[in-house]
Amino acid sequence: MPVLWLILIVLALAVAGFIAGRARAISGAGDDRRALHSLPNYYGWNVAMKAMVPAFLALVIWLIAQPFIVNTKATSLLPETAIPEGSTLGLVMSDVRRVADGLDLAVEQGLLGASEAADLTVTGSDIRATLGSAGVAVGSEISPEILAAAQSYRSSNATGNLLRSLVVIGLALVGGALALAQTKPDFRARNAVERGIRAILVGAASLAILTTIGIVLSLVFNTIEFFRIYPASEFFGSFTWSPSFGGGSQLGIWPLLWGTLYISLIALLVSVPIGLFAAVYLSEYAGPKFRSVAKPALELLAGIPTIVYGLFALLTVGPLLLSVFGRDGLGWMQAGTAVMTAGLVMGIMLIPFVSSLSDDIINAVPQSLRDGSYGLGATKSETIKQVILPAALPGIVGAILLAASRAIGETMIVVLGAGAAARLSLNPFDAMTTVTAKIVSQLTGDADFASPEALVAFALGMTLFVMTLGLNVFALYIVRKYREQYD
C-alpha cells in the first residue's frame, strides 16, 4: 500500500476518532456538557491524537529503517565472486535495486505476471529485454546472483510494505480504541491534550538541536579524518596555502584566516559607524513619518541576496576603486578584486544588521531615562551620548558581534569581490581570499573525498564554526546581561 494512502487512512481514522470521542463523551455525560471534566472537543482531540501520533511515529521510523534492513538482507546474498573486477559492492547493489525496481515496473505495466516475475530465471528468459521494454535500462548482463539478490530485495520489500501497513493501521486502531475506552465524563482530556501538545513542542525543539549536533558531528569526524592524513602542526603553523591535487600541497590556514579577518575588519569599519548613526537618527531624531518609510527601506538591504552584492562588488565597486587607486590613479591597486572591494560591499550589506538591531535596542531604553536627562536641561545629543548609548551599549556590542560573525561567514561577496589569491599582505588593495571562499573552491569540481586537499575544507569549516560560535555566544552573553538591567 503506498505511503500516501497509509497517511490518508490514518488521518481518516483520526477524524473518525475525533467524532466518536466527542460523541461518546457527550453521551456519557447524559447530553449535559457541564458534567464533563473538559470541553467535548478535548475528548475528540484526545482520541484523534492517540490514534494519529503513534501511528505516524511508527511510519516514520519504518520508512527510515526498512531500506537498511532490506539492503543488508540482499547484500548478504551476494557472494564475493558476484562483484566483478574494478567494481564495488555499492555499484553491484545499485544494479540489484535497478533490477528489482524494473521487475516491479514490468509487473505494473502487465509485461509480466506477478508469479512469473517471482519465478524468473536468468536462463529461461531475456530479462534485459523485458526490463528494457518496461523503460529500465540495465547495463551488463544479469548474473544469477544479482537476480537472486534482486528477488530477495523485492520479496522483503513487499513483506516490509505489507507489515508496515498492518502495523501503522493497527497502531492507529489500537491507540484510538484505548483512548475511546478512556473517554468517560471524569477523564481529564484537557490535561491529556495539553501534555500531547507539550510533547509536540518538545519534539520540534529537540529536532532543531539534534540537527545542529548532527552538522557539528559530521564536521568533527571529517576534521579528524583530515588531521589523520595531514599534520595539524602544518595546518595551524604554515603560512603558505598552495593546494595541488597531485599531492605535496601546503595547507596553512593563516593566509585564509588573515584574509577573512582583514575583510571582516573593513566591513565592520564601514558598517558599524554608518549603521549606528543611522539607528540613532531613526530612533531619536526622525519623525514617525520618515521613520515608517526609512526603516523598512534600510531593512530592504538585508533582503538582497548576497550574490547580488557580489555582482555589485565585481561590476561597480571594483572598477570604481580601480579608477581611483589603480594604475591610472594612485597605482596601489592591480585589479578590481581586492580586500577593499569586498570589505566595502560587505560593510554595506551589514549596515541594516547593525542599524536594525541597534535601533531596537535604543528604543528599548526606557523613555523615563530620556525624560530624566531632558529634565536636567540636557540637549538631545548630550542625552544620547551620555545616557542612551551607555545604557544601550551592551546590546549594541551584541549587535556588532552578530554582524561580525555574519561577516566572517560571508562567501559570495568574497568569491566575486576579493579575488582568489591566498596571501598575507597588509595592502588593502591586494587581492586576497577567505576561509569560506576556499572551502567552496576545495569542494567544487572532481575532488577525491579521501585526499587532504578536499578534506581540508572540513577543517577550515570547523575553524570558522568555532570562531563564529564563540562570537555568537559572547554576543548572546552580553545581550542577556544587558536585559537584566531594567527588569
Partner 1 sequence: MYDSPLRKTEVDTNESKISARDVQVYYGDTHAIKDVNVEILDKTVTAFIGPSGCGKSTFLRTLNRMNDTIDICRVEGLIELDGEDIYDKRVDPVQLRAKVGMVFQKPNPFPKSIYDNVAYGPKIHGLAKNKAELDEIVEKALRRGAIWDEVKDRLDAPGTGLSGGQQQRLCIARAVATEPEVLLMDEPCSALDPIATSQVEELIDELRANYSVVIVTHSMQQAARVSQKTAFFHLGNLVEYGDTSQIFTNPVDPRTESYITGRIG
Residues interacting with partner 1, by CB under 8 A?
A: 287-288, 366, 368-379, 382, 386-387, 390-391, 485
Question: Which residues 6+ apart lie within 8 Å of 358 measured at CB?
Answer: 275, 276, 279, 280, 392, 395, 396, 399
Which of helix, strand or coil describes residue 422?
A: coil
- Nearer to partner 1 (CB atom), residue 374 or residue 465: 374
Contact (CB, 8 A) for 437 and 417: no
The least CB distance from residue 370 to partner 1, in Å, is 7
SS3 percent helix, strand, coil of the chain, rounded to 5, is 75, 0, 25
The least CB distance from residue 373 to partner 1, in Å, is 7
- Nearer to partner 1 (CB atom), residue 316 or residue 485: 485
- Nearer to partner 1 (CB atom), residue 191 or residue 386: 386
d(CA 33, CA 23) in angstroms, rounded, equals 11
- Nearer to partner 1 (CB atom), residue 173 or residue 294: 294
Rg for the chain (alpha carbons), in Å?
32
d(CA 373, CA 386) in angstroms, rounded, equals 9
The least CB distance from residue 474 to partner 1, in Å, is 21
Residue 70: CA count within 13 A, CB half-sphere? 23
d(CA 185, CA 31) in angstroms, rounded, equals 11
The least CB distance from residue 378 to partner 1, in Å, is 5
The least CB distance from residue 325 to partner 1, in Å, is 44
Contact (CB, 8 A) for 342 and 418: yes
Residue 250 CB-density burial (10 A; 0-12 exposed, 13-18 middle, 19+ buried):
middle
Question: CB atoms < 10 A from the CB of 180, how many?
Answer: 18
The least CB distance from residue 480 to partner 1, in Å, is 16
- Nearer to partner 1 (CB atom), residue 139 or residue 366: 366
- Nearer to partner 1 (CB atom), residue 279 or residue 391: 391
- Nearer to partner 1 (CB atom), residue 110 or residue 375: 375
The least CB distance from residue 471 to partner 1, in Å, is 25
Q: In Å, what is the CA distance from 407 to each residue of 12, 212, 256, 257, 459?
A: 50, 21, 14, 13, 19
- Nearer to partner 1 (CB atom), residue 141 or residue 371: 371
- Nearer to partner 1 (CB atom), residue 194 or residue 382: 382
d(CA 483, CA 392) in angstroms, rounded, equals 10
- Nearer to partner 1 (CB atom), residue 46 or residue 373: 373
The least CB distance from residue 382 to partner 1, in Å, is 6
Please give the torsion angle defined by the CA atoms of residues 334, 340, 342 and 346, in that order, rounded to the nearest 10 degrees. Answer: -170
The least CB distance from residue 376 to partner 1, in Å, is 4
The least CB distance from residue 293 to partner 1, in Å, is 16
Residue 409 CB-density burial (10 A; 0-12 exposed, 13-18 middle, 19+ buried):
middle
